[in-house]
Amino acid sequence: MIPYVPLERRPFRLHMGLRPLEPSRWLEFDEDAAALRSLRARLIDEERERVVALDEPGRAPSAELLEVVLDHLARVHPERVAPIGDDHPLVEAARLVCEDLCVMVREDAWRLRAAVVCFPSRWDLREKIGATLREIHGPVPGYEAALGDPVDAFFDRIDVARGYWRLNWTLLDTPELFVPEGARAAPGGDLENWYFRVERQTFRRLSGSGAVVFTIRTYVAPAARLAERDEHFVEALVDQMASAPPAIQAYKGWVGVAERLDPRRRASSRPDH
Ligand code: HEM
């Protein structure tokens, strides 16, 4: 099951929600790690043009990142150390871990200069490579106003010695991890048709190049399983979805979903004869 269910008990809001990262917990491995590594290797080999994007300014920071990953594995997860090949250093690093890896370089603004993203959640990496943080988030309603300046300022301030992490979640109509595109229309269906998807994201600055490494570890669980495990899950979920601004609901593909899944509404609309 998934280790994080970040549903807040207050109305939905777009926020950074950053927490200090314990260095030994930068990368996460669990019982799914071996399967995830082989899925990632297959996607890198078979879908390379969609999961790998590399610009020249990202090369030196990627080489630095590979060294940092190897050093981290040797110290914290020695059982996960594996031989590396002679592909681009970011691709080699991405084969070793369960996280997707993005390298952000400070130029006129912070730009995405190298990425291996095997598990996108309905976005296309090819449209994001080379883009600034604001451009990357162009489709996210309210990002510019609520997060544009704070995220840029945060990236300027990240200290080599101190990383951060945050959680992001959504509800999707598929358990697939590789979801490069797809209509954001909310299909019908009951709890059984929905999957709760959590991204654990980390941010660290590399000491040599000064680039920022953004990692994304994706966890997916059937919503019905989470509802069995926690009697408050569905209520918290529908409260979050229903309190999100309509533009966010449309962006996330949630329009009408809260109403359909809400047990309070279902109870009141159920015919009693
Ligand atoms: C503190 C830093 C960041 C914050 C607070 C943030 C916040 C967000 C939020 C609120 C969304 C909306 C999607 C959702 O809630 O499910 C989003 C989407 C996204 N973010 Fe970030 N983000 C951050 C850093 C980054 C970085 C460094 C990248 C670099 C690749 C990135 C790439 C994306 C992408 C690709 C999307 C989907 C955009 C689309 O639909 O086209 N984010 N982000």
Per the prediction, the chain carries an average pLDDT of: 94
Other Cβ atoms closer than 10 A to 245: 14
Q: Is the pLDDT of residue 270 over 70?
A: no
State percent of the chain over pLDDT 70.
94
| Residue-level pLDDT at 272 | 45
Nearest CA owner, ligand 1 atom 2: 151
Q: Is the pLDDT of residue 273 over 50?
A: no
CA 52 and chain centroid, separation: 16
| Ligand 1 centre distance from Cα of residue 222 (Å) | 23
Residue of 154, 166, 158, 136 lying closest to 206 (CA atoms): 158
Other Cβ atoms closer than 10 A to 55: 15
Out of 105, 136, 248, mutate this one to test ligand 1's pocket (max ligand atoms within 8 Å of CB): namely 136
Q: What is the DSSP letter of 107?
A: S
Q: Which two tokens stand for residue 215?
A: 């990692």
Q: Does any ligand 1 atom lie closer than 6 A to the CB of residue 221?
A: no
Q: Which residue has the higher pLDDT, 201 or 1?
A: 201
Non-local CB neighbours of 254 within 8 Å, separated by 6+ positions: 171, 186, 241, 244, 248
Q: Is the pLDDT of residue 33 over 90?
A: yes
Q: Is the pLDDT of residue 271 over 80?
A: no
Confidence of residue 196 (pLDDT cuts 50, 70, 90): very high
Q: Is the pLDDT of residue 104 over 80?
A: yes
Confidence of residue 187 (pLDDT cuts 50, 70, 90): low
Residue of 243, 267, 213 lying closest to 104 (CA atoms): 213
* Atom of ligand 1 at shortest range from CA of 214: 27
Confidence of residue 234 (pLDDT cuts 50, 70, 90): very high
Q: Is the pLDDT of residue 85 over 90?
A: yes
Q: Is the pLDDT of residue 67 over 60?
A: yes
Q: Is the pLDDT of residue 57 over 70?
A: yes
pLDDT average, residue stretch 61-79: 98
172, β-bridge pairs = 195
Confidence of residue 189 (pLDDT cuts 50, 70, 90): confident
Chain segment 239-263, per-residue pLDDT in tens: 999 999 999 999 998 888 888 888 7
Q: Does any ligand 1 atom lie closer than 6 A to the CB of residue 214?
A: yes
| Residue-level pLDDT at 15 | 94
Q: Does any ligand 1 atom lie closer than 6 A to the CB of residue 147?
A: yes
